[in-house]
Each structure stands twice: as structure tokens, then as C-alpha cells.
Amino acid sequence: MRIDIVSIFPAYFDALELSLLGKARQRGLLDVAVHDLRDVTTDKHRTVDDKPAGGGAGMVMKAEPWGLVLDKILSESPTVATDAEPLIIFPSPAGEVFNQGMARELAGEAHLIFGCGRYEGIDQRVFDEYAERGRVKLVSIGDYVLNGGEVASIAMIEAIARLLPGMVGNPESLVEESHEGESGLLEYPSYTQPAVWRGREVPPVLLSGNHKKVAEWRHAQRIERTRRVRPDLLPPEADQGSVGTQRELQN
């Protein structure tokens, strides 16, 4: 997968050199390029923003720098010779909410471009221009305000990239994670050695060696945790007796 990122703070994305993402880049699974929006400016102050039309607080990112950078990225896209078009993603509170389902969908793309806005946002004509010429998606990572799109882009890139084939050493681990498998239930709690730590015991069922009971306990835990923390994710067919089952397995 090819990922291009446009930002006025490219150093944010040094984090993509770490951990699994860094290893994926070294192995050629992920090709990432970061572009500094200020590099295309021509004035001594490297200006990328101006006062909002119609007045108001703050500043708005100008259309022309974005146009120059995006035109260049699109012209060099590895998908130019194919029917696939790059998808430009702008983190925005006005966008569709990002979730695991969207991450899986985006993991199937050949080329993603992330445009990181700042200040009061980007001139609307940038979105309109590239939506008319290709594909644009505004995406929100939650109902809160950040200073810019960099943190949101990193979160999305990590969620997307870890789903690429060969990214995670044991693919089975993806199946048991929160929002994956079992209709998107949250993940069950995990334990390791020692069996007792500061008077707190590992649930006996996990030490029983009975794989069927372990699986039943984990399923019950997922349902109970989802019901308690994120009831909106609980599927209608969830076993209503799971709480009782969970208590029986713990004893």
C-alpha cells in the first residue's frame, strides 16, 4: 500500500518509523511519503493560511498550496496506470466517523492520501476540486477537537496498516481483538504469569486446561464487557444468560 501525507508538521509522522509500522516499511509492505505543505510556497514567510472570507476568528488554509501538492502526488500515483484511483482522506469533525469496519475497507485501497488541516480548516474549494476529479473522504475519529489532522491521521494509518497481509506476525490475533470477530464485541481481559499477583488471582478457568470452558468464559466476558462499556455495540442476538455463565465459569 502507498500512503502519502500532507502536513505543515511532517515531524509528527516520525512515529511511523516505530514498531510494526516501521518494520512493515522496511519490508516493503507499506510505502509512506510525507510532504511539507510549506515547501510549495513562494513567499519568505512560507504562508499557507489567510483570513476567512466573510470575517470571523482564526485563519483558513489557502487552496493553492494544497492544489500544488495534491496535483503532484496524484500525477505520481502508482495507480495512474490502473483503473484504481487514489483516495484522499481529510480528517475532519464534519466527516464520517472512523471505525474498524472503515479500517478494513480502507485496507483494501492501493493508494491513500491524508491531508492534515490546521487552524480553522482548509478552503472548501480544495474538497470540491478533488471530489470532482476523483475520490475524497472526510473522516472524523471522534466527537472532540484536535489542533490539526496529524494525530487523527496517525491513528487511522495504524488501524488500517495493521490489517494488511503480512503486517501482524500471527494473523489469528486480529480475530480476537476488540471490534474484530464475534460481531464486533470488545476484547476479553487478558492475564499471564504469575497465577497470583498482589493477592489477585488469574481466573481459575484459564488455568484449567479445558479449552472449551476457556472459550466459553472468554465469550461471556466479551459480551459482559461490551454490555457494560459499549452497549451500542452489543448485537441483538447476544446471549442474555452470559452473565450467569461467566460467574459459573469463574467459580
pTM: 0.83
Per-residue pLDDT, 27: 87
| Tally of CA atoms within 13 A in the half-sphere of 92 that contains its CB | 19
Q: Which position has the grid cell 480548516?
A: 121
Does the pLDDT at position 212 exceed 90?
yes
Give φ, ψ of 51 to 5 degrees.
-65, 145
Cell readout for 248 is 459459573
Q: Which residue has the higher pLDDT, 181 or 201?
A: 201
Calculate mean pLDDT across residues 89-97.
Answer: 95
Distances (CA, A) of 16 to 53, 93, 164, 168: 36, 23, 15, 15
101: Cβ contacts below 8 Å, ≥ 6 apart:
none
Calculate mean pLDDT across residues 155-159.
Answer: 96
* Nearest by Cα to 182 from 214, 226, 245, 135: 226
Does the pLDDT at position 246 exceed 50?
no
Per-residue pLDDT, 177: 54
Sign, CA torsion 147/12/7/23: negative
pLDDT band, residue 182 (cuts 50/70/90): very low
Per-residue pLDDT, 210: 96
- d(C-alpha 80, C-alpha 182), whole Å: 38
* Nearest by Cα to 115 from 2, 1, 7: 7
Per-residue pLDDT, 161: 93
- By the 10 Å C-beta count (0-12 exposed, 13-18 middle, 19+ buried), 52 is classed as middle
Calculate mean pLDDT across residues 9-24.
Answer: 90
Residues making up the chain, counted from first to last: 251
Does the pLDDT at position 77 exceed 80?
yes
Strand 200-201 and strand 135-140: the pairing is: unpaired
Question: What are the pLDDT digits (tens) for 188-211?
Answer: 999 999 999 999 999 999 999 999
Does the pLDDT at position 181 exceed 60?
no
Per-residue pLDDT, 248: 46
